[in-house]
Structure 1
Amino acid sequence: MTNLVRTAFLVLALLYVMPVQALAEDNNKDYGDIDVIAKLGDRYYIEFEPLPKLYLPRILIADGIHFFGSTKSAMQSGLFQDAYYIENPQEFVAGVSGPVTYRLVQANGDPVTLDLSISKHVVWFWLAGFLTLFIFGRMAKKYEAGIGRETAPRGAGMNFAEVIIVYLRDEVVKSNIGEEKYKKFAPYLLSCFFMILFMNLFGLAPWGQTPTSDISVTAALALTTFFMVNLNGTKDYWKHVFAMPGIPKFMLIIMIPVEILGLFTKPFALAVRLFANMLSGKMLILSMLGMIFIFAGLYGAGLGLVSAFLWVPFTLFIYALKVFAAFLQAYIFTMFSALFIGMALEDHSHHDEHHHAETAAAH
């Protein structure tokens, strides 16, 4: 086991140090700025360095729907242009210039009505959904055949998944929603957990991306929970929003806006918490690796290469924390979603009656 860990460490270290070997070729080379934000941002291509980029289709709505295989083909059509060349027309050379910002506008400079293009975060989001359907679809067939239901689960993967599923069902879904109603929401909450987990882990793979570091992805997930909560809210739930019992009537002028605001702050907190945690972890990793190039630019390629033996172990340590954070953030999103759903389904009048009965019995 020790040899395996040591070998894995050396392989990862080599993967990170390999780009620095080029620094030894020219100590006076200008390494330029390290744009961490650009690395984390969404793009209309997928990078497989040192292999060529995989360009993604562009779908644009402007005087009709237009489909293109890539950004460059959209520019070559003459209908659309990269916004960079609209602002800097002197730098555009017909048939030669490629995309710069990948933000397309119409050839006359007008913005497109709607950009439905497929981006790299969308691709990785779809991949997470496909993995969830594929893995747990196969597990469902095994359960239907009696494996894991009438007999013990088979295989390490099935055993590991069952431990997580049973824990989430009993300690998260059932405990927050209740014994009677949890089955309706368990599929959604379990799907949330595993999709978010896969998306969080994708960023740790070579060439991988973390879709949950994109606020639009986490906002879509939080919005789904928002509709799940409010479309299933009971009359008692809405009564506590618009006519909270037990407070003076004049206080409703203050309480109703506060309660309505609370409906939106919950999904907002869900989206921002997941987004900020996953983005900051990725940013920290890229910043640490960037220190190698900063040292090389300031003190020469030799010292930059030597400093890699400090920054690479730090990066591997952060990677280990990110694996833990991937599970933790998926758990937190699922737990709070279950909590909000349970609050919307809670029958407050039943608890009030139970409380009054206990008080009367005590007297």
Structure 2
Amino acid sequence: MRLALAFLFALALVPAASAAGDEEDFDAVHHTADGNYLDFLPIGKVELPRLFVVRDASGSLGVRFFGSSTAAVASGEFEIESHGGAAHGEEEHVGDAGHEESPVEDVADESLVELGVIEDSAAPYDAHLVATGGSDVVVDLSPTRHLVFVFLAIGVLCLLFLPMAGKYKKGIGRDTAPRGLLQNMLETVIIYVRDEIARPNLGEKTSKYLPYLLTVFFFILICNLLGLVPFGATATANISITVVLAVFTFIVTQLAGTKDYWGHIFNPPGVPLALKPILIPIEFIGIFTKPFALAIRLFANLTAGHLVILNLIGIIFIISKTFGTGAGIGTGVAATFMVLFVYALEVLVAFIQAYVFTILSALFIGMASAEHEHDHDHAEDHGLTNHDVAVAKANGTAPHKLHERTVGTEATFA
């Protein structure tokens, strides 16, 4: 049934694409970008409020609030920034000889608009606004589409876990078995995060950092899934959101760092003195590359999936505009199946990326908080890594026993 509906929807798009092909080009990047509006196309767009901190010509600061971008422009205090260097609505420049100037930048911008690289500045909610009358915008605090879905994800988290917390306070799930479908489902995921992600990496410190890891996992998962619903937006496809999440992991990791952790960075043990000036900067840079990789990985994976889906849909418009409606319908059949496949893959990616971000966060925190000072001899004697020793301690197994078990296992599979 869903496949049939998707196929009919794709076929319905083709005539519309042919009719409107000369009016607007399909821009997949624009549809995945952030903006000061909620996108309910083809129904329409809902503008979001605008909030600016402005410095006027005298140097004093003030706050300007408007119900929408259109209202901000209509007030006369703000105008649409022109890519050619002059604000929208300003008079044309006149040269010394009295002839109107035609900057090369304006011609270039018109070409970019025609190609769909930049958006036409006719819509205030789709443009960058600047202050007029000699004022400057110090900071734009306006809510955006991705921020709205961040708070929506927070609301979903509260709706899911506050009732569950109330049940645990009453003893349901502690003194008795969990009750209800929701509690059983969530507890299954929570136990998985605790036993398969947190405990192998954090050992005896699992309970200390488990709340953070659970929050990160469910927040990212909900944001990913909200981006797959109709008219939704993926907050985790915004680099600002993923950077904030990575910064939190960075802060927790550094606060969890032990003397041994900092000692391995600024005084690597077992390294010749001549190599330490080279290794220490590398280890120090590694502190920042880990959260950087976290932010880029999550952002890139979520953005790429949506771009693939939108470009597959865009093929229908392109073929229909170039070769006619019949070719567009034929393309729509193949594109529909491909979109459904990628969409199903996106659901899987939503869970995988939440898992990857959480397990890497647990790994980084576990590496920083692990105590190695009493384990070096065991590691050297038995050929164990620090991770092996940490796992042995978490499981209550002596390092030499772990070595014996490992050797026996390897002999069995040899």
**TM norm structure 1:** 0.89
Q: Secondary structure of 2:193's partner?
A: helix
Match of 1:14 in 2: 8
SS in 2 for 1:50: coil
Percent identity, aligned pairs only, is 43
Q: Is the 8 A contact 2:202 2:366 kept in 1?
A: yes
The partner residue of 2:37 within 38, 45, 52 is 45
Find the counterpart in structure 2 of residue 328 from structure 1.
352
Aligned residue number for residue 407 of structure 2? none
Which residue, out of 66, 87, 107, partners 1:68? 66
Displacement of 1:247: 1.5
Per the alignment, in what secondary structure is the counterpart of residue 270 of structure 2? coil
Does residue 147 (structure 1) correspond to residue 156 (structure 2)? The answer is no
Structure 1 residue 355: Cα displacement:
4.2
**1:250-273 CA distances to partner (integer Å, 9 max, x unpaired)?**
322112211110000000100111
Partner of 1:84: helix, strand, or coil?
Answer: coil
* Deviation for aligned residue 1:156: 2.8
Q: How does 1:211-222 map to 2 (within 5 A)?
A: 211-222=235-246
1:222-253, CA deviations, whole angstroms, 9 ceiling, x for partnerless residues? 11100010012111111111111222233221
Separation in 1 of the partners of 2:253 and 2:163? 29
What is the CA distance between 1:282 and its match in structure 2?
0.2
Deviations 1:164-209 (A, max 9, x none): 110110110011011x211111111011111101111112110011
Mapped to 1, the partners of 2:258 and 2:177 lie a distance apart of 40
- RMSD, aligned α-carbons: 2.4
Maintained 8 Å contact 2:69/2:125? no
Match of 2:275 among 237, 248, 251: 251
Distance 1:90 1:161 in 2: 52
Return the match for 1:59 from 51, 57, 63.
51
1:1-363 paired onto structure 2 within 5 Å: 7-23=1-17, 26=19, 29-30=21-22, 32-63=24-55, 64-84=62-82, 87=85, 98-99=123-124, 101-108=126-133, 112-178=137-203, 180-355=204-379
Distance 1:37 1:109 in 2: 33
Number of aligned residue pairs: give it: 348
C-alpha change, 1:356 and 1:215, in structure 2 (3 Å) is closer
Change (3 A) 1:90 1:206: closer
Whether the aligned pair in 1 keeps the contact of 2:35 and 2:126 (CA below 8 Å) is no
The structure with the larger Rg is 2
Q: Mark the CA change 1:57 to 1:357 in structure 2 (over 3 Å): closer, same or farther.
A: same
Q: CA–CA distance in 2 between the matches of 1:248 and 1:176?
A: 30
Change (3 A) 1:87 1:311: same
Q: Please tell me whether the aligned partners of residues 37 and 47 of structure 2 are also in contact (alpha carbons under 8 angstroms).
A: yes
Shift of 1:66: 1.7
CA shift digits 1:132-151 (9 cap, x unpaired)? 12201111111222322233
TM-score between both structures, scaled by the size of structure 2: 0.78
Q: Would the alpha carbon gap of residues 295 and 250 (structure 1) be closer, same or farther in structure 2, given more than 3 Å must change?
A: same
Which 5+ residue runs of structure 2 have no aligned equivalent?
56-61, 92-121, 384-399, 401-414
Residue 83 to residue 109, structure 1, CA distance change in 2 (3 Å): farther
Counterpart amino acid of 1:128? Answer: A
Letter in structure 2 aligned against 1:166: I
| Amino acid in structure 1 at the alignment position of 2:198 | V
Displacement after TM superposition at 1:12 (Å)? 3.1
- The code of the aligned residue for 2:72 comes to A
Given that 1:295 and 1:307 are in contact with CA atoms closer than 8 Å, whether structure 2 keeps it comes out as yes
Cα pair 1:60 1:112 within 8 Å, conserved = yes
Quickly say closer, same or farther: Cα 1:276–1:128, change in 2 above 3 A: same
- Aligned-pair CA distance for 1:324: 0.5
Amino acid across the alignment from 2:28: V
* Conserved 8 A contact 1:241-1:260: yes
Q: Deviations over 1:41-79 (max 9, x none)?
A: 110000112333221111211222222211112212222
CA distance in 2, matches of 1:114, 1:57: 15
Amino acid at match of 1:209: A
Unaligned runs of 5+ in 1: 1-6
Letter in 2 for 1:30: D
Paired letter, 1:47:
D
> Is the alpha carbon distance of 1:17 and 1:212 closer, same or farther for their aligned partners in structure 2, counting shifts above 3 Å?
farther
- Separation in 1, partners of 2:134, 2:283: 44
Distance in 1 between residues matched to 2:84 and 2:54, nearest whole Å = 17
